[in-house]
Structure 1
Amino acid sequence: MTPDVRDEARRADRPARAESRDEGGGGPRSAIAEADWDRALRLISAADEVALSCHVTPDGDALGSMLAVGFALRSLGKRVAASFGDRHFAVPRLLRFLPGQDLLVPPEEFPAEPALMITFDSSTFERLGLLRANTAAAREVIVVDHHPSNEGFGTLSLIDSTAAATAVLAEQLIYRLGGRLDRDIATCLYAGLVTDTGSFRHSSTTPAVHQMAARLVATGLRTDEIARELWDRSPFSYLKVLAGALERVMLEDGLVWTYVTRVDRAAYGLPYSEVEGIIDIVRRTDEAEVAVVLKEDDQGAWQVSTRSKGAVDVGAVCVALGGGGHHNAAGYTSHDSVEETMAAFRRELGKA
C-alpha cells in the first residue's frame, strides 16, 4: 500500500470508529481495543497458513467478509483455507457471483487443528456447525463479529456491536494488514454491507456506512448487478413456496408469523437457502411490530428468523431461546413443533 493510500485508510478508519455509536448519539465507540488489533496482526504475521470460517448457511456478510479477508491474506503470501460447516456444503445460489470461491474447501478438507483460525459473523460457537471440532482444536481463534450477543468464544475477540456489518471490521482488518481495496475485495465487502444494512435502509446506516460504500464503489463495482444478484432473482419454485407460506400467515396482537416446511420445499425442489428472504416480505405488515418465520431445514430443525420495527428487542428474545442477533433482527434454532416453538416465543416476547 502506498503512503497516500495508507494515510487515507487511516483517515477513513477514524471517522468510521467515531460514527460507530448509538442512533441517539453518545453511544460507545468501537469496542475493539488497539491492543487487540495489534495482537491479531502479530498472530497473522507469524502464520504461514490461516484457516477462515463463517457461520452455517452463510449470508452476504458472513461469506463476503471471509472471502474479502481471504483475498488480502493470499496477497500477503499466506496459505488460505476458507469454509463453513454445512453438512451439504454449497454456496447459496444468491452468493455464487462473489469472487474468491477458489479459496473455499469443504469441511472435511478444512485443517483439523489450525494454528490460526479466524471466524466471521458467527455469534456463537454452535453456529460454526461441522467446524466446531476444528475450532476447538485450533491453537488461536480470532473472532470477528458485530453481533451484540457474541460473548467471544475464541482466544481473541475483534467484536464491535456498533458496527453495521462484520464487513466493516473486515475492511479495517484489511487496511491494518497493509492491504488495499480492489474490485474483488470490494465486491465481497459491499455484499456484506448492503446485506446487513438492508440495502442502507436499517437504522445502522450511519454516515460512516455511506463513506465505506463510496470507497468500495470507487473500485469500479457494478452496484446494479450486485443488487440484481442479491434481491432480484429467484427460481419459479420460490414463488410457489412463498405462496404457501403467505396462505398460512397469521396476525395476532402485533405479531405476524408463518412457517415453511421441508415438505413444502421438497415438492418444488427448492433448497433451504432460497427461503431466507421470506421474512423480509412478512415483516412489511403494517399491523405488526414483530415478524417471525419458521423454516424447517433439511435435518428437521426449525430455523426461526425474527424482525422488529424497533419497539421490541427481538435480539434479547432470541438470546433467551438459545440464539442471538441484533435488536431488530435475530434468530435461533428450535427442535420443538411449530406450536411449541411459537408458544415459547410468545412467552419470551411477553417479557420483552
Structure 2
Amino acid sequence: MTPDVRDRDLPVAGPPEPLPGTPDAGTAGAPAVGEAVWARVTGLIERAEEVALACHVTPDGDALGSMLAVGAVLHGLGKRVAASFGDRIFAVPRLLRYLPHQDLLVPPGDFPEAPELLITFDSSTLERLGLLAANAERAREVVVVDHHPSNTGFGTVSLIDPGVAATAMLAEDLIYRLGGTLDRDIATCLYTGLVTDTGSFRHASTSPAAHLMAARLVATGLRTDEIARELWDRSPFGYLKVLAAALDRATLEDDLVWTFVSQVDRAAYGLPYDEVEGIIDVVRRTDEAEVAVILKEDDQGVWQVSTRSKGAVDVGAVCTALGGGGHHNAAGYTSPHGVEQTMADFRALLPRKA
C-alpha cells in the first residue's frame, strides 16, 4: 500500500505554515497571493462541473507536473477534467513520459472550445499557450497559476507568486485548499516540477519552503532515484553526437558563451527536439562566462533561445524585451531570425561589463 503522507510527522493537512522569521513568499515579506484570491479560486473550482487545464507549449517538468497533479485531484473530487498543451505536434517529451495521470491529457483539437473555467500552469503569457490561446480568450474564467516575474497577468484571476521556486509549490497549496491529499503518484508529479525548476535544488531560488515541500513529497514513498534517472541520466546515443557538435562550435565572447543546435544536427541522428534541452546546462559551466545562450532550431524551423546567468546579469529582462520571459537567472524567447541576427539582437541588449 502506498504510504499516506498524513501518517507522517510533516505539516501536510493544510497549507504549510511559513518558517519562523521568514516571509511566506514574495520579496516584500508578505504573501504574494492573498487569501481573498485563494478563496475566489477555490470557489470557482467548487462551482464548476468541468475544469479545463492548460500549460505552456513544449512543457517542462514544472508545467506538466503541476497540471497533472492538480488534474488528478480535481478528477478525484468528481470534476470532469481535460488537460492539454498547445503544440501542433502533441506529444509528451520523452523525459516526462514516466509521469502518472497522463490519461487526463487530450490533444488541442479535443480541448473545450470555450471553457467555463480554465486553469493555466507555468505560462507567463497568453501566447505561451500556443494553439490553446484562442480557447483561453473564449473562456469565462481563466485562473493563471505561475511563478514567473514576467507574467503579464492575462487571466481573470492571478494566482502568481514570483517568490516561490516552482509553480508546483502553488499547485501543492491549491491541492490542500481543495481538501485534497497526496499519494505517491500526485507527489511524483509535484516533485518533478519542484526538482526541475530548482535545478535539483542548486538554483538560488531554492528556499527552506522548497526543501520542506520535498520532504512532504518524499514521505509518500516516491522514488527520487528513479525520477532523477529519468530526468538527467538517460539519453539516446545520438545526443552525445549532437552535444559534441554544439560544444565544438561553442563561442566565448568576453563573459558570454553561446552555441546552437540546428535541425540538420538532430536529423543526422534522428534526435527529437526535446532531447537537446539539457545542453544549456553543460555550456553554462564555462568559468569565463557570466551568461550562456543556446539556440535550438525546432521542427518548424524556428529558433528557440535558452539563456542562463550566474547572477550578475538579469537574462529575464533581456528575454522579455525580445518577446519572451522567465527569471533573473534563466529565461528564453523565440526568434524569427537566423543564428547571426538572433545573437546580434541578444548582444545589443546584454549589459556591458563596467
Common fold by TM > 0.5: yes
Alignment partners' CA distance in 2, 1:250 and 1:8: 48
2:247 is aligned to 246
Is it true that 1:151 corresponds to 2:155 in the alignment? no
Query: Any conservation in 2 of the 1:52–1:119 contact (CA below 8 Å)?
Result: yes
Matched position secondary structure for 1:147: coil
1:296 is aligned to 297
The one-letter amino acid paired with 1:46 is R
Query: Any conservation in 2 of the 1:237–1:268 contact (CA below 8 Å)?
Result: yes
* 1:12 to 1:73, Cα distance in 2 relative to 1, 3 A: same
Alignment partners' CA distance in 2, 1:10 and 1:99: 23
Alignment partners' CA distance in 1, 2:336 and 2:152: 24
The one-letter amino acid paired with 1:135 is A
Matched position secondary structure for 2:78: coil
The one-letter amino acid paired with 1:161 is P
2:16 is aligned to 12
- Report deviation, 1:187: 0.2
Structure 1 unaligned runs (5+)? none
2:206 is aligned to 205
- Report deviation, 1:10: 3.4
- Report deviation, 1:300: 1.2
- Report deviation, 1:61: 0.2
| Residues 162-191 of structure 1 deviation map (CA, whole Å, 9 limit, x = unaligned) | 010000000000000000111011000000
2:175 is aligned to 174
Show the 5 A alignment for 1:218-257. 218-257=219-258
- Report deviation, 1:20: 2.5
What percent of counterpart residues are identical?
Answer: 74
Matched position secondary structure for 1:142: strand
1:141 is aligned to 142
Matched position secondary structure for 2:323: coil
Matched position secondary structure for 1:31: coil
| Residues 67-114 of structure 1 deviation map (CA, whole Å, 9 limit, x = unaligned) | 000011011000100000011100000000000000000010111111
Is it true that 1:131 corresponds to 2:132 in the alignment? yes
* 1:290 to 1:7, Cα distance in 2 relative to 1, 3 A: closer
Matched position secondary structure for 2:81: strand
Alignment partners' CA distance in 2, 1:297 and 1:30: 38
Query: Any conservation in 2 of the 1:13–1:172 contact (CA below 8 Å)?
Result: no
Query: Any conservation in 2 of the 1:19–1:206 contact (CA below 8 Å)?
Result: no
Q: How many residues get paired?
A: 348
Alignment partners' CA distance in 2, 1:226 and 1:201: 16
Query: Any conservation in 2 of the 1:123–1:145 contact (CA below 8 Å)?
Result: yes
| Residues 250-285 of structure 1 deviation map (CA, whole Å, 9 limit, x = unaligned) | 001100000001111111111111111110000000
| Residues 99-145 of structure 1 deviation map (CA, whole Å, 9 limit, x = unaligned) | 00000000101111110000000011111011111111111100000
Show the 5 A alignment for 1:307-322. 307-322=308-323
Matched position secondary structure for 2:31: coil
- Report deviation, 1:192: 0.3
Alignment partners' CA distance in 1, 2:124 and 2:277: 18
- Report deviation, 1:51: 0.4
- Report deviation, 1:8: 4.3
Alignment partners' CA distance in 1, 2:12 and 2:135: 37
Is it true that 1:110 corresponds to 2:111 in the alignment? yes
Greater helix percent: which structure?
1
Query: Any conservation in 2 of the 1:254–1:288 contact (CA below 8 Å)?
Result: yes
The one-letter amino acid paired with 2:50 is E
Alignment partners' CA distance in 2, 1:7 and 1:240: 46
The one-letter amino acid paired with 2:25 is S
The one-letter amino acid paired with 2:308 is R
- Report deviation, 1:4: 9.4
Structure 1 length as normaliser, TM-score?
Answer: 0.95
- Report deviation, 1:3: 10
* 1:2 to 1:168, Cα distance in 2 relative to 1, 3 A: closer
- Report deviation, 1:207: 1.0
Query: Any conservation in 2 of the 1:55–1:127 contact (CA below 8 Å)?
Result: yes
Matched position secondary structure for 2:52: strand
The one-letter amino acid paired with 1:80 is V
Alignment partners' CA distance in 1, 2:98 and 2:244: 27
Matched position secondary structure for 2:16: helix
Alignment partners' CA distance in 2, 1:154 and 1:92: 27
1:263 is aligned to 264
2:51 is aligned to 50
Matched position secondary structure for 2:259: strand
- Report deviation, 1:151: 2.0
* 1:8 to 1:139, Cα distance in 2 relative to 1, 3 A: same
- Report deviation, 1:30: 2.5
* 1:157 to 1:247, Cα distance in 2 relative to 1, 3 A: same
